[in-house]
Structure 1
């Protein structure tokens, strides 16, 4: 799959793919999405949010510029589009990265801890992203996102909620994920996902970004679970990755059939937006994988 320019060129040209910008955006997202009582100085906060929304959109527009030509190649009839989308599992940016076999077979406990700390700190919360994205969607897609959300919420049982499973692993590995100790590439991924989910003119992009997570996560999750098993973690402690290695295969098939297909059938223009969201998510993931390998392996 051709790109407009290389990851290195993209990184070098960017004014938004920087440490300071992504940390500032991550802090803003964390603060603005947190439930709170009414703000007394709401006028000042509104001014701040307006400024940050402009910066956030500049960041998204720059991400789009890097993938727009590839996304334009996506077909707009539903059958061909689904085939194109599913092919991202093999041909999309960052797929087959050598980091994950290495995590499964060679990484030490400390190396797995560092990897997981980066992933946990940059985690935007798949359940919350789905909840934001589903607002006012057409019925078929809305129902599929609702089923997906219900699975994320453990089908009503706290023990089955995916978020607490992640928290269990945080405790087991004794990591303390924070914005300050997370590489900006991981923060950029979470910031991009948050922007797409919370801005309604990016809703179709969010559908694509969330769908491509379901499509591509199982293989990576299985390799991470293998590494965690190798260093001695129990079934309970590995459950988050073990579960996603299996469950997301079904989630992906359902998402493609019940969300993507009817959405593109109803309005073929959505195919391009969905493709852009998927490619932006994959490109951000690719940046993360390269940065992780740079830290874990040295110059590579």
Structure 2
């Protein structure tokens, strides 16, 4: 499905999302800085390192913002118009309708599905943690909706229902080994962009737009991945993460749009542009990944078809 959004030509230099050295540095920094830890004696060196990495992180995110700016400027700033535009991203946003996912559902062999899932798992930023960081000091109504979403991510207090461990169980069942060094930089870039928006308060409205568009667009992709696992004979307990998101995120998206995005825009129309940029950044990062995944996974198929 063609996107209605027009993206300018890529610059001659390597795009920061394709810069493996940069994205791996950011990924390792995010992993280290967000991990619980005890005070270290070399705290001054740590602060110096964080200052350098924040410069790199923000420069990367500002590149993504510039690319999204024109399409984001087309979003209406009245609440009704904005929500209609935002929900339209499900059909017309970057990366939507990508042929990768029907192929995964219907044709992909196990080895290719395993490679795809390793890329996705290594680039997973942790939706629950991103929601928790984003909602800090949010207006009450939106904060409550993000809290309800977070509670669902936490299995509503039941460890067996926590979404993160469900993904971990899938990684274990398929014997996947997701690592930063073996992951495409574009997949790391997606996680790094999401983390940057959630951890820098100047991008808080971007983050709520990016998180909401995941809820909006994930059900179709999750359903295809669950179908691939089912076709290849994996039991429900292995498919659970994707089966759940194929259905639950439909309800999550409707609530997010009505109880978080709408009141945020109604309270301050200037937020609409930032929310739109965040959504488009997330979708564009995903679209880069899907294109590269296809190039990698379909390489042999295309060669055979060309004989």
| TM-score normalised by L of structure 2 | 0.95
Q: CA-to-partner distance for each residue in 1:188-244, whole Å, 9 max, x for gaps?
A: 000000000000010000000000000000001001100000000001110000000
Please tell me whether residue 243 in structure 1 is matched to residue 212 in structure 2. no
Q: Check whether the contact 2:134–2:198 (CA below 8 A) recurs between aligned residues.
A: yes
Across the two proteins, how many residue pairs are aligned to each other? 298
Distance 1:22 1:31 in 2: 14
For residues 261-276 of structure 1, what are the structure 2 equivalents within 5 Å? 261-276=262-277
- The answer as to whether partners of 1:11 and 1:17 remain within 8 angstroms in 2 is no
Give the CA deviation at 1:178: 0.8
In 2: Cα distance, 1:281 partner to 1:10 partner: 20
Query: Residues 10-35 of structure 1, C-alpha deviation per residue, up to 9 Å, x if partnerless?
Result: 58552453111101110011011000
Residue in 2 that maps onto 1:19: 20
Say whether the 8 Å CA contact 1:222–1:242 is kept in structure 2. yes
Aligned equivalent of 1:5, options 4, 8, 17: 8
CA-to-aligned-CA distance 1:136-191 (integer Å, 9 cap, x gap): 00000000000000000000000000011101110111001110111111000000
Query: SS of the residue aligned with 1:3?
Result: coil
Cα RMSD between the aligned structures? 1.2
Determine the structure 1 residue equivalent to 2:294.
293
CA distance in structure 1 between the aligned counterparts of 2:109 and 2:263, rounded to whole angstroms: 45
Q: Distance in 2 between matches of 1:16 and 1:222?
A: 27
Secondary structure at 2:87's aligned position in 1? helix
* Separation (CA, whole Å) in 2 of partners of 1:104 and 1:128: 29
**Which residue matches 2:172?**
171
Q: Which residue of 1 aligns with 2:79?
A: 78
Partner of 1:60: 61
Residues in 2 aligned to 1:132 and 1:218: alpha-carbon distance in whole angstroms: 23
Q: Specify the alignment match of 2:192 in structure 1.
A: 191
1:224-279: CA deviations, max 9, x gaps? 10000000000111000000000000000000000000000000000000000000
Distance 1:295 1:19 in 2: 16
**Per the alignment, in what secondary structure is the counterpart of residue 96 of structure 1?**
coil
Q: Where do 1:80-229 residues align within 5 Å? A: 80-229=81-230
Q: Is the 8 A contact 2:216 2:250 kept in 1?
A: yes
Taking structure 1 as reference, are residues 11 and 283 closer, same or farther at Cα in structure 2, changes over 3 Å only?
A: farther
What is the CA–CA distance in structure 2 between the aligned matches of 1:163 and 1:247, rounded to whole Å?
A: 15
Give the TM-score of the pair, scaled to structure 1: 0.97
Task: Verify the 8 A CA contact 1:117 1:177 in the aligned structure 2.
Answer: yes
- Specify the SS of the correspondent of 1:60: helix
Query: Partner residue of 2:70?
Result: 69
1:274-298 deviation line (CA, Å, top 9, x unaligned): 0000000000000110111111011
List gaps (5 residues or longer) in structure 1.
none
